[in-house]
Amino acid sequence: MMAAGANPSEWLSRARSGDRAALQQLLLSLHDRASAAISGRLPADLSGLLSADDVLQEAYIVVCREIGTFEGSEFDAFVSWVIRVAEHRMLDMIKGLRARKRGGKRRAIDVSPKGDDQATINLLEMLSVHSRTPSRSVARREDVSLVQSALASLETDYRECLTLRYVEGLGIEEIAERVGKTSGAARMLCHRGLQRLREAIERLRGGEAGSHKADTRD
């Protein structure tokens, strides 16, 4: 439900213009409808491994990134668009889960090869979504905890710029003003910060994998 007195079309217009708070309000408002739509499409053989909440968390990351491509102006049209995005993500997740079940591989969050920052940005956007619509999925909470730990390990300037840029959704000029840097310096801190964050995630994930192996030997 929208907040009392809120105009869904106004929220949508603001979201399309880059207002992250307005977008988060829209996602909160449509969550129950989208959850009901996705729940009825989940395959029985993945019960316990995949929930509507898991799918929507992934879909919201895509929506946050691609809201500028949505051309409608009505809330119902936006809800339909979000559900379509969720359906596409659900199919990808089903395919991935079934492949892992066949291969017996342990689940790990995705970090792209060195030089590609998009996967790291996706993880930060996941953190942003989780802060507004916390996941009930244990696996998703583990992913969020890993990213939070990696972010906390960074130097203050990197951590602050990445949080402002990808979690709070501020533009470079706003970030520069907040941290007292030039726009060029803020942009560089974001760029280098993504590299540092990816490396931190890989280190933490490697340590987690080593701990898992030790546990199995014990």
Domain ranges of the chain: 7-102, 137-210
Determine the Cα–Cα distance for residues 192 and 182; give it in Å rounded to an integer: 15
Long-range contacts of 71-76 (CB under 8 A, 24+ apart): 72/12, 73/9, 73/12, 73/13, 74/8, 74/9, 74/12, 75/2, 75/8, 75/9, 75/11, 75/12, 75/26, 75/29, 75/30
Tokens encoding 7:
């105009």
Mean pLDDT of 117-138: 68
CATH of domain 7-102: 1.10.1740.10
pTM score of the predicted model: 0.57
Residue 130 in this model has a pLDDT that exceeds 70: no
Domain 137-210 has CATH 1.10.10.10: yes
Higher-confidence position of 132 and 213:
132
Structure confidence by residue, pLDDT tens digits, 8-61: 888 898 888 888 778 888 888 899 999 999 998 988 888 777 888 888 888 888
